[in-house]
Every structure is written in structure tokens, then in C-alpha cells.
Structure 1
Amino acid sequence: MARTRIAEKKQISIGRMLLNGAINIRQASRKLAISRNTVKSYIKKYKAFADGCPGGAVYQDGGIPVFKNEYPPNDKYQELINVLPLLIGLDKSASAKDVWLRYLAIYPNGYNRSAFCLHFSKWAKENKVVLRNFSQVLTIPAEDLKILKRWRKSSDRRKWERSVVIMESFHSKSAADIAIKVDRGADKVSDWIRDYKAKGIKGLEKQPRRANKDIINRIKEKRDNLVRLIHESPKLYGINRTSWFLADLSTTYQKVYGVYISGSTISAYLKKEGYVYRKAREVLTSPDPDFREKKDKIASILQNLGSKEKFFSVDEFGPFAVKMKGGRSLVKRSERKTFPQIQKSKGWTICTAALELSQNQITHFYSQKKDTEEMIKLIDLLLIKYQNEEKLYFSWDAASWHASKKLVSHIEQLNSDSYRLIHKTPLVGLAPLPASAQFLNVIESVFSGLAKSIIHNSDYTSLDECKAAINLYFKTRNNHFILHPQKAGNKIWGKELVVPAFKDSHNCKDPKFR
């Protein structure tokens, strides 16, 4: 008898084809996903059966027979059958593997393990021999049983599989029988049983994916590099466009960094950085032809900043009106917080401030205008406050009052030998930001945190009350960084966009909060 064996359903399908007339071997092979030789083999079996030679067939499906494999006994098989009672009699608590090892000790050239287990399991069933099952779940605590029952009713197949495996094993079902029920391999079923016995329910739960630090660092580097690219104009890389396209970013990235990144990956990275691509094209690109030179100058100053030197990031917050403001807040699901669209202002102001980067300290005052006089006032205030320093650097955006002739003349006067000799003041240096590059202005990140903490969801009764809240915010922030001089930013405050440090991959300004 040939040893070809396929599923009963496939055998019945071949039988039906024969009953319905001629059978196309090629079509039957493709339909049933078996070889043509196997189809031919079963055609011969059915024809032999029709001629009155059943050959081990049994009737199924309303009269169509299916064929069970029958292996003719040989000397090796007969030796195994004869010696099995002796091997089992030595130790009733032995496992199938132990029995096989004893068998090999007597017959070194006998069956391998898989063939042995096949014959042994058949013999054990016929002779009602039950060996100790080391992989069986012997106990299930009451708490685990509740969880497993809930998993078994779950629509999550992963939980259902594991609950069935553990509960069926507890009811003395073999791994092979359980594997058929859950449509998994017996090895995988045994693994789940072993994990449960060793770790309990935790062994069955989905384990957190271990992050590869090298891969994370490489992805972070790529994301930072992309942000650096979109900060610059495409024309700096020989691309005749006014804004970045994904294909251009992909090509340019490969040229600059020697690594290929697809457009879809670039889009995903930019979204993770918090940018919508259209918004990024409108806000994040600086048209300044001297972008690199100005950016590199600031980075160089900061890298070589002396112990007696200070670097200030300067900008104005506002003008903003004091009235009821909207924002995100905790409310009940059934409630909706509202505020009137048309309100009478209780006053308005502008907060001019400077952030000293090395010590994370804010100096600020209020005014009713943005002009050169306010910048001169701020510089003079900082010269007095930091009189013991050797040099103060000021970095601001390209607003007209930040580069007026009057301001330049005043700084030249401050740096003159005669003035410094009389007033004992430090030198003043300028490190202007590139045009339209507010995203590099570090103080913008602090202003965003201020807006979310103090301005949003506010309803101050007066301008003075609003100023008091801002003063307290900056005072608390300054005191914190005096006690904790390490770089902090978003991790401690949870409100500022980025760590208050100059970095060309940062986006310090978010227009939503201004």
C-alpha cells in the first residue's frame, strides 16, 4: 500500500470528481494544492476500490470512502513492539523521550525520535498505556482561572488561543490534540504551557517590545537631520523651488548624508516631530541666503562661551489683550466650556524679555510698543544686571527695530573704551538670527510655555492681575533653574516646546500659542 496520505476532505473531493465523470489531474492538483502524482495515486485507489478491493478504506460522506495509511510490519517495527512492554515496565513515570533513549540503548540503529513517537503513541493508545505528561498544567489558581475564562470569551484570538491551551491541558489533553483545536503547532502549544508553568499569567501576556538603542539613536539622528534640511531653503542645495517637496528632501538627504530615505518615511518622521507638511513648508523654511553662516556663528559662540560671558535670546511676547481666553482644560464629557467671541478688553501690553542660555534666567519688563527704544532699554538693564561679566551676546530675529541705525549706534557707544572705562560695563556682541527663523529663537519655547500655563483658560479681572501672574511664572522658573542648573525645559515643566538650548533641529515657536 502506498504511503501517500492527504486530508479526508481532499480524498472525498477526488472521489466526487470521479463519480461526476472524467477528472482533470492538473486542475485537481491546483484546486486541492497537492501534487499530480498524489492525485494519480488516489485515482488508482478509488478505481481499485470500485473493482472490489477496498484496501483499508472506510466509508465517509454518504458512501465515498477515505483511505487510512497502513504500514506493513517489518523486522524493526516488530522489535519495537516486542520491547515496548519491557521499557515501560522499568519506570511508569518515564516520559516518551526517556522510553526512546532506553530503546536506543538496546537498538542503536533503531527508529529516530519522530518515527519512534509515531509508532509508540499508536501502540500506547491501543494498549491503554498512559505515561506521565511533564508538559501538562496540573493546577490553575482561582484568579488565573477567572482571567482565562474571560480570555476564552474574548474576540482577541491571541488571548483565546492561550486560554484554550492552558484550560485543555489542565483537563489532561495532549499538546498534539490541543494544537489541532487551536490550529497551531504542537511545539508552540508546549511553549505556552511551559511559559505558564514557569511564570503564570504573566508568561502568556504580550511582552513589551525591547527597543534597540542603536536603531532609536539612528532614527533620532535622521529626524534631526530632516528638520535641519527643512529649516534651510531648497535653493541652497541647487533645487529651483521656494519650498520643499518630499522627493526633493529624499534626494537631498541622500546627497548630504549618504543615506537613502523614502518620501513616505520622511513624511512619517516629520509628523512624529509634530509638523504637518503643508504647515512646515509655510513656517519652517528660512529664505535668508546667509542662513548657514548666521546659524553657524551662533553655534560657534555658544560652543566657545566663556565663564565670564553670557548669551541672551531676546524677543517680545504680544501684544496681547486681557480678556477671557480659551484653551484645553478638564471638563465632564457632558459639558463644553465656552467663552464669548466679542469681549471688552481689560487692557493690553507687550512683554519684552531676554533668556540667558547658560543659566536659564529670564529678564523681562512691560511696554506699549515694539521699537528701538525698548531694545535699548533692555540692553541697558542687562548691562547693569550683568555688570561683572566680560561680554554679553544678544540674539534676536530680523525685525526692523532689532537692526536700526539708532540701535547700532548705541551699541557702538556702549563698546567704546571711554564709556566702558567710566561705567565698568561688559562688551556687547550681536548674533542675529536668520530672516524668518523664529523657530531657532530659544525664548519662543519659553513664551509657548507661558501662554499655555498663564494665558490660556484665563479670565483676569485686570491688566495688573495678569502681569502679576506672569511675574510669578518667571520668578518661579528662575528660582527653579537657580536650584537646578542643569538643562531642563519640557521634561521638568511639561509645557515648553523644547529644552531651552540652541539647536538647529529645534522648532521653538508654535504659532498656535501666540
Structure 2
Amino acid sequence: MAAGGSPLFSPQQATREAAAAELQEIVRRSPRLYGLKRSRWWLDGLRQKVSWLNGLSLSGVHKILRRLQVSYKRGRRYVHSPDPAYDEKLAVLQTIRELVAAEPKRFVLLYEDELTYYRRPTVAQGYAVRGSDEPHARQGLGANLYQRIAASLDVSSGRLFAWQRKHFDRWTLIRYYRALEAAYPEAELIFVAQDNWPVHFHDDILAALVGSKIVLVPLPTYAPWTNPMEKVWRKLYQEVLHLHDFADRWDELKTEVDDWLGQFADGSTELLHYVGLCPN
């Protein structure tokens, strides 16, 4: 603030960093979430919805945006979460994480997800002789069979509780949840955060879990980046499924996947680091 001048930002956002964080978060969201019938933000819309921009001229708003590293730029194709309850769902998860951190013996938080993998290897980069057509993702003979995995990652220990099955319908998921509950006999509540696949919240599953320790927690819709299990799957692909040589040995591939999952059955700080749940 210059001598005799007024502050750049209102008392609610007393610092440049706080103001930038608020403004950058707002422009990442659709104006429709703020009651404006527009698909893109414009200067007057921001002036209406950011309290400390009220009263400024449009050129003044533009100058503040430039100062806070917010500019008018060409968009790119991108997948984002359209969930209007995005922030509220993440806030619920943060509250649960704080509860679990304070009393880890009483409360457990797990991120759950499913994956389908196939007999035929996926194509990816690998070391090979320069100038050759390798590496090869040898497709083998016969049908491209598939297998499903359901797995849950413990945010406190890095423990991975995983099943392999041909299918995960609601009845199989009920059995999985019951086995998951049995794996934590001392816990009072087991929070299971998962995406909004309709089967996850099917009436039969909700009815089966009445009276159990398990509490299903919905993640934001179409927001896979909010589920650390996505990085577990990435690690599985990097270490086992990309360019694998089991195309004609289906049972051996399933055993290989079982062994890979099993290495985390007793917990893993290294896995927590990998997925970003243990940054220190």
C-alpha cells in the first residue's frame, strides 16, 4: 500500500497470496456455479462475485488480475469435474482425514476403486535397440480375456486390501465390503471413499451395510484425480501390465498381479509417498 493510499485488497484478503489463491480458485470454476448464466468468466462477472473487486472500474479489475497472474488465454481440451458439490465433498473428506489422523485406532479412511486389465499387454515405452521396431507388446493368440480388481488403500498405513474377480456386481461388492470390515476388527468406523459408479451406491449395497462399520463417502463426480487409487493403478501398469510377456499365460499373469498387490497387504510408506498421501 502506498503512503496515504488504500490497500490493494479488502481485509478478508489482506495479502497478495491470499487474494491470488481466492481469485485463481474462482476462475477455475464455471460462472454458473456462482449464479451467472455464462460459460466463461468476464471482467464484470468477476467484479460482481469477488467482493474486494466491487466498486473498481473494469480497467482496475484487469490490472488486479494481471498483478495476480490471472490472464485471458485460449482454452485447451480438458476433462474436469462438473460436480456442483465438488468443494463440499472434498471438505467432508478433509474432516474425515483429520479425524482419522487424530484417532487412527478408532477410525479408518480407505480410498477404493476398481480396475479392469486384459490378457494382452498395453503398449508403452521401454528400452530397446535404437533403430529397431522394438519394444513389442506381443498380443498372443486367442481372445483378449479380462480380469477385474477391487482395492482399497489405507491412508494411514499404505495397506492395500485387494480382490481379483471376473466381475464386481453389487453382490460381489457386498462380500468385498464385509471382508474389508473384517480386516479392521478394532476400528469403530471405516470410511470408504469411492467414485460415483452407480453400483457403489446401489440400494442393495446400502441396505446390506446398515449396521456395519462401513460408511461410504462419495468422491466428486468425474474427478479421478481426487482418488489416490488411480496412482496405484498407474504403478501397477508401469511395473507389471505395460509390455508384459504373459499374453499366452493368462493364469500366470493373474498370479503376477496378485503378487504385486500382495506386497502392500501389510502397509507401505513407499506406496503412500508414491500416491501423494505421505509427502514428508
Root-mean-square deviation over aligned CA pairs: 3.6
C-alpha change, 1:343 and 1:355, in structure 2 (3 Å) is: same
Q: 5+ unaligned residues in a row in structure 2: which ranges?
A: 1-15, 53-63
1:178-193 correspondence to structure 2 within 5 Å: none
Does structure 2 conserve the Cα–Cα contact (< 8 Å) formed by 1:288 and 1:435?
Answer: yes
Worse overlay, 295-304 or 468-477: 468-477
Q: Deviations over 1:400-448 (max 9, x none)?
A: 1011110111111x33xxxxxxxxxxx2222111222222112111111
In the alignment, does 2:140 pair up with 1:332? no
Relative contact order, CA 8 A, sep 6+: which one is greater?
Answer: 2
How far is 1:451 from its partner?
Answer: 1.4
In the alignment, does 2:149 pair up with 1:351? yes
- Counterpart in 1 of 2:99? 304
| One-letter identity of the residue aligned with 2:182 | I
In the alignment, does 2:258 pair up with 1:471? yes
Q: Rg larger in 1 or in 2?
A: 1
C-alpha change, 1:395 and 1:347, in structure 2 (3 Å) is: same
| One-letter identity of the residue aligned with 1:369 | H
- Counterpart in 2 of 1:372? 170
In 2, Cα distance between the equivalents of 1:256 and 1:450?
47
In the alignment, does 2:223 pair up with 1:437? yes
Secondary structure of 1:278 counterpart = coil
Secondary structure of 2:218 counterpart = coil
1:430-509 correspondence to structure 2 within 5 Å: 430-460=216-246, 461-478=248-265, 481=268, 484=269, 487-489=272-274, 498-500=275-277
User: Which is richer in helix?
Assistant: 1
Does structure 2 conserve the Cα–Cα contact (< 8 Å) formed by 1:359 and 1:485?
Answer: no
- Counterpart in 1 of 2:203? 405
Equivalent residue pairs, number: 243
In 2, Cα distance between the equivalents of 1:472 and 1:224?
45
C-alpha change, 1:488 and 1:240, in structure 2 (3 Å) is: same
- TM-score (structure 1 length as normaliser): 0.42
* Percentage of pairs with the same residue: 19
- Counterpart in 2 of 1:322? 119
| One-letter identity of the residue aligned with 1:326 | V
How far is 1:297 from its partner?
Answer: 0.8
C-alpha change, 1:474 and 1:324, in structure 2 (3 Å) is: closer
C-alpha change, 1:409 and 1:488, in structure 2 (3 Å) is: same
In 2, Cα distance between the equivalents of 1:332 and 1:256?
61
1:167-182 correspondence to structure 2 within 5 Å: none
C-alpha change, 1:348 and 1:299, in structure 2 (3 Å) is: same
C-alpha change, 1:357 and 1:315, in structure 2 (3 Å) is: same
Does structure 2 conserve the Cα–Cα contact (< 8 Å) formed by 1:313 and 1:356?
Answer: yes
In 1, Cα distance between the equivalents of 2:271 and 2:149?
26
Does structure 2 conserve the Cα–Cα contact (< 8 Å) formed by 1:326 and 1:458?
Answer: no
Secondary structure of 1:304 counterpart = helix
1:256-335 correspondence to structure 2 within 5 Å: 260-263=68-71, 278-280=76-78, 283-284=79-80, 286-305=81-100, 306-307=103-104, 308-318=106-116, 320-335=117-132
How far is 1:238 from its partner?
Answer: 3.8
In 2, Cα distance between the equivalents of 1:336 and 1:441?
36
In 2, Cα distance between the equivalents of 1:225 and 1:455?
42
In 2, Cα distance between the equivalents of 1:374 and 1:256?
51
How far is 1:300 from its partner?
Answer: 0.9
Q: Deviations over 1:344-367 (max 9, x none)?
A: 336321011111111111111112
- Counterpart in 2 of 1:385? 183
How far is 1:463 from its partner?
Answer: 2.4
